[in-house]
Amino acid sequence: MNPRHAADDPSALNTMMRAARAVFLDVASLGSDVDLTGLTTACNTLRCFDFTAQAQLAERLHDANVVICNKTPLGSDLLSKASALELVLVTATGVNNVDLYSAAIHGIEVRNCRNYGTDAVAQHTMTLILALHTRLLDYQRDMAAGAWPQAANFCLLEHPILELAGRRLGIVGRGPIGRKVAELARAFGMEVVFAQLPGRAAGPDSMPWPELLRRVDVLSLHCPLNEATEHLLDAAALAAMRPGAMVINTARAGLIDTPALIAALRQGHLGGAAMDGLDVEPPPSGHPLLDSSIPNFLLTPHNAWASRQARQRLVTQTVENLQAWRRGEALRTVTASR
């Protein structure tokens, strides 16, 4: 019997759980302060590696029937040769590092984690919005340069400070994160509207995309990156926004046309922008968005999701996914979309 399907017999599942000979390919991606006890207990055997290079994959997978990874690429060539592999557990929501079509062909299940970072990403989003409105980074730079002791006034007022109350926030994406950001923004007195993208049905508090671009003071992106949303904010969309508007992206970098964003900031059309993450990670040292001279632009290193609590929830959900699979139950299974 094919080992990938040895436990597909319901009668076998009644008498025994599937074995889990697991390997965690990039455990360091979760940080050193998470508790892996539950994961260790849930496996028959577990080998952990901080990171795994492509050249090391075949050796590390050769006898594992369960692979756990965050961002390590698992392509079709590797999956076709991993004869023992039955399950891939992704410690993230996005599974673009796994060739889902190849996994399906070879009978390999893929399961992911979901909604573990809602509070963390929403909190980070509001942090970025507040930092832009208070010009926090600019004033911190002034302080580091010794501007306050040399000032004639008792305070520094070189950069305009804006209140959130009364400002209109447009949100793209009505999922858990988008809704949580809306809740927090309303607590600051902001008016919140959701984007109705082309081809999508109108919802409560929604506004058609072209109108929303013209009317919001702040635009926050919380939608998936796909063919329909790639470069959603291109040069034309950015030009349609009201002068002084701000853009926040704690989703995927590819939602925004990078050169167009930089131009809109340098030309003074946008009042500010903030992003968590780039299109290449870690980025090359010469990446254009690493230029500190871009005015009122904040960039964080793809860690909006990474509160300690959120990372521990990743472990918890991974354990749940593994235990359910060992019992022959479906939970957070991901399949190819075409």
Note the CATH architecture for domain 118-300.
3-Layer(aba) Sandwich (3.40)
Tokens of 175: 């999922």
Q: Which one is catalytic: 47, 211, 302, 320?
A: 302
In angstroms, rounded to a whole number, what is the distance separating the alpha carbons of residues 162 and 271? 11
Lowest mean pLDDT among 104-113, 197-206, 304-313: 197-206
Report pTM.
Answer: 0.88
CATH of the domain spanning 3-116+308-334: 3.40.50.720
Q: Where are the domains of the chain?
A: 3-116+308-334, 118-300
The reply to whether 269 belongs to the active site is no
Q: Which one is catalytic: 252, 311, 313, 332?
A: 252
SS3 192: strand
Pure H helices in the chain: 10-15, 37-42, 54-61, 76-81, 100-105, 118-134, 136-144, 176-187, 209-215, 235-240, 258-266, 308-326
**pLDDT for res 203:** 82
**Residue closest to 125 by CA, chosen among 70, 212, 183:** 183
246 has pLDDT over 50: yes
The reply to whether 311 belongs to the active site is no
**pLDDT for res 204:** 81
Mean pLDDT for the chain? 94
The reply to whether 281 belongs to the active site is yes
Q: Which one is catalytic: 158, 183, 281, 329?
A: 281
212: phi then psi, degrees, rounded to nearest 5: -60, -40
